Amino acid sequence: MRVDEKGRILIPSKIRRKLNIRNLVKIVVGEGEITLRPVEDPLSRFKGLVVKGTRDVEKEIRYLRSAAEKELEREV
C-alpha cells in the first residue's frame, strides 16, 4: 500500500467490509508496527435509548452524542 504526502493510506473496500470498518479505527503503535482495529460507532450503542415521540429530538441527539463521545474517550 502507498502512503500519500499527507500520511494517509486507503484501506481497500473488501478489507473494510470483512472487518466491518466504518468511520472509526483505533491505532495501536507497537515496536516497529502499527495496528488498526475497528471501533464501533459510539452512537450505535445508544440507538435503543432514543424514545419514540421525543419532543426535542435535537436535544436528545446532542445528549446521546455527548454520552457516546465520553464512552469512546474511556475506551481509547
How is residue 61 annotated by DSSP? H
C-alpha distances out from residue 39 to 5, 25, 45, 60, Å: 26, 5, 12, 23
Confidence (pLDDT) at 4: 95
Three cell numbers at 20? 466491518
pLDDT at site 51 = 60
pLDDT in tens, the chain (76 residues): 899 999 999 999 999 999 888 878 889 999 999 999 888 776 666 666 666 666 677 787 888 888 888 887 876 6
How far apart, in whole angstroms, are the C-alpha atoms of residue 42 and residue 66? 10
pTM equals 0.51
pLDDT at 66: 87
- Return the SS3 of 26: strand
Identify the structural domains of the chain with CATH numbers, from first to last. 1-39 (2.10.260), 41-76 (no CATH)
pLDDT of residue 14: 95
